[in-house]
Structure 1
Amino acid sequence: MDAPASSPPEDAGASAASSTTALDTSVADGIVIVDKPAGVTSHTVVARVRRLAGTRKVGHAGTLDPMATGVLVVGLNRATRLLGHLQLADKSYDATILLGATSSTDDAEGEITVAATPEALASVTASAIEAAVEAYRGPISQIPSKVSAIKVDGKRAYERVRAGEEVELKARNVTISRYDVLDIRTVAGGIEVDISVDCSSGTYIRALARDLGADLNVGGHLTALRRTRVGAFDMSSAHTLEDLGESFTMLPIAEVAADTFPRFDADAEQAAAIRTGRPLPGLKLTAGVQTAMFDPDGTFLALYEPHGPLAKPTAVFVS
């Protein structure tokens, strides 16, 4: 799926140039931005990173469907705990929609259930496509794809669909901050529309394809999907699995924390308290946001937030 949720460690910073580390990755803490290939699951990518890094403590944020490619944010060791604190709600995608056919899964991996007539397709103009897209810009209410990973009575929606069950999912509010039509072209059996989208977490690009086809009365489904950005992480810092196999490249946890959060450099006495998660009085931290706490040597220790006269930890990353 074009997936909104973080996975647990067993199976997200900045787009700055990544740092090749000579550290033993089995004990190093950091973030790896993987350019996920098509045809494999996000879980498979995590398993490959585990082998390359020599550690089992690997987790990812924001699952991608097997057919999808692009940015997958992967954490190593203690950085797996940082994933849930990073601002990864906003995402960007490049995709191709095929108008003219409805798919059982809203994408190319499903069976075609309804195909439009040539007469119906001939009535779909570029201006009609642009007008239909306009309705999906900004805050919208979207019904997720039936083959999403959303749980229905404790069971994933896609599992129920595969078992032959009828699934009805509730609409959810999402925001499409950018929805650009890049190209429109006629192909055998339909019309291909290349799009580029910036959206909030929880948005299903497959559902955008489905709904665009429905609005134009010809049906539609997704045929290609590439995630180009998750939060501040984009393709400029992404590495293929092949590249990582030749030279394992990661963003150290301290670098990610310094680039993502306001920074506080503690003195030795404060650092000792932070290491054990003790509240600190008298610190002027920014209200409403987490602050990355560093010791005098530049080691990232913890995330703290102000609570009245005290600064208290939200997560401690050292023992």
Structure 2
Amino acid sequence: MLLLIHKPSGITSHDAISAVKKYLRQPARDALTEQEKSAGIKPPKIKIGHAGTLDPLASGLMIAATDKDTKLLHSLTGSDKTYETTIDFSQRSDTRDLDYRKLLEPIDPSMYEDIPPLSQIEEILDTLIGTPSLPLTPFSAKKFEGKKLYEYAREGKPIFLTIPMTIYGYKVLDYQFPLLKLKLHVGSGTYIRSIGHWLGTQIGGDAILISLKRISIGDHSLDFFEQKTIHIAQWDDKKIEYVILGDII
């Protein structure tokens, strides 16, 4: 069974998957008789996996699959993705977003010689179209010699890597300096935090992401939630919407 999940900000991708898994098992749990419950019989286990992890502060689309359909996830992981993000040119942090371990000294707007006009921002963004090499934040899940970068960073041994990323296009949704809202169409393995940070350095300062929402993965998008029956799972005080696309295999 293939599912689309709309993860809210403030929980991990694992939390979202766990919540949906619990709700998927609920009908079988409810079908157990009191005698079966007393005998310790439990509903059948459900195998569930997902393609593409979102950071805790990020929201948006996740694709999950259960049981035999989990075989499809590998092909979906490499799909292109579309995000909406808001970049703040007045802040900086070690993680390059608001989920920081250390908030660095704020950027004094006066350090910018002039407020960059939108035309300048767009000229810089135009240079990213293609496969630019951009620096990763040390607080990344990218692996290096068998360990995730954030594991090195938490040990006080940050690793700084620059990797090629793929950017197909962008659209400026709003610009009121120091905030820039963008829609970005990117390839798999592209880090939006890297784009935000790099853009800040190109205009003479720095930047962090203050919001990030994934709106599509390949041919699947949040628009599906307007066309399908929406189910609700709960994780603490967070409601997690999901839709069931059905069995594929």
Match of 2:184 in 1: 197
Judged with a 3 Å threshold, the aligned counterparts in structure 2 of structure 1 residues 238 and 248 are, in CA distance, closer, same or farther, namely closer
2:93 is the counterpart of 1:106? no
Whether contact under 8 Å (1:34, 1:72) holds in the other structure is yes
AA aligned opposite 1:197: L
2:149 is the counterpart of 1:157? yes
2:169 is the counterpart of 1:178? yes
Structure 2: stretches of 5+ with no match in the other structure: 26-44, 235-240
Q: Please state how far the C-alpha of 1:100 moved relative to its aligned partner.
A: 2.4
2:55 is the counterpart of 1:65? yes
Q: Please state how far the C-alpha of 1:212 moved relative to its aligned partner.
A: 0.5
AA aligned opposite 2:15: T
Q: Please state how far the C-alpha of 1:112 moved relative to its aligned partner.
A: 2.7
The within-5 A match list for 1:237-248 is 237-238=224-225, 243-245=231-233
AA aligned opposite 2:53: T
Q: What is the TM-score when the length of structure 1 is the normalising length? A: 0.64
Q: Could you list the runs of 4 or more consecutive aligned residues of structure 1 that deviate by over 6 angstroms after TM superposition?
A: none
Residues in 2 aligned to 1:64 and 1:87: alpha-carbon distance in whole angstroms: 12
Match of 1:119 in 2: 110
Q: Please state how far the C-alpha of 1:88 moved relative to its aligned partner.
A: 4.3
Q: Please state how far the C-alpha of 1:83 moved relative to its aligned partner.
A: 1.1
Residues in 2 aligned to 1:86 and 1:157: alpha-carbon distance in whole angstroms: 24
Q: Please state how far the C-alpha of 1:85 moved relative to its aligned partner.
A: 2.9
Higher relative contact order by CA 8 Å / sep ≥ 6: 1 or 2?
2
Match of 1:53 in 2: 24
AA aligned opposite 1:102: R
The within-5 A match list for 1:56-95 is 56-86=46-76, 88-95=78-85
AA aligned opposite 1:172: I
Residues in 1 aligned to 2:225 and 2:89: alpha-carbon distance in whole angstroms: 31
Match of 1:287 in 2: none
AA aligned opposite 1:192: L
Judged with a 3 Å threshold, the aligned counterparts in structure 2 of structure 1 residues 249 and 102 are, in CA distance, closer, same or farther, namely closer
AA aligned opposite 1:66: P
Q: What is the TM-score when the length of structure 2 is the normalising length? A: 0.81
2:10 is the counterpart of 1:33? no
Judged with a 3 Å threshold, the aligned counterparts in structure 2 of structure 1 residues 249 and 192 are, in CA distance, closer, same or farther, namely closer
Secondary structure, in 3 states, of the residue corresponding to 2:104? strand
Q: Please state how far the C-alpha of 1:158 moved relative to its aligned partner.
A: 0.7
Q: Please state how far the C-alpha of 1:146 moved relative to its aligned partner.
A: 1.4
AA aligned opposite 2:198: D
Q: Please state how far the C-alpha of 1:124 moved relative to its aligned partner.
A: 2.6
Q: Please state how far the C-alpha of 1:132 moved relative to its aligned partner.
A: 1.8
Whether contact under 8 Å (1:34, 1:238) holds in the other structure is no
Q: Please state how far the C-alpha of 1:236 moved relative to its aligned partner.
A: 1.5
Residues in 2 aligned to 1:40 and 1:120: alpha-carbon distance in whole angstroms: 35
Secondary structure, in 3 states, of the residue corresponding to 1:168? coil
RMSD, aligned CA: 2.2
Residues in 2 aligned to 1:106 and 1:248: alpha-carbon distance in whole angstroms: 29
Structure 1: stretches of 5+ with no match in the other structure: 1-29, 255-299, 301-319
Whether contact under 8 Å (2:116, 2:203) holds in the other structure is no
Match of 1:251 in 2: 245
Residues in 2 aligned to 1:31 and 1:144: alpha-carbon distance in whole angstroms: 32
Match of 1:221 in 2: 208
Give the % identical residues. Answer: 30
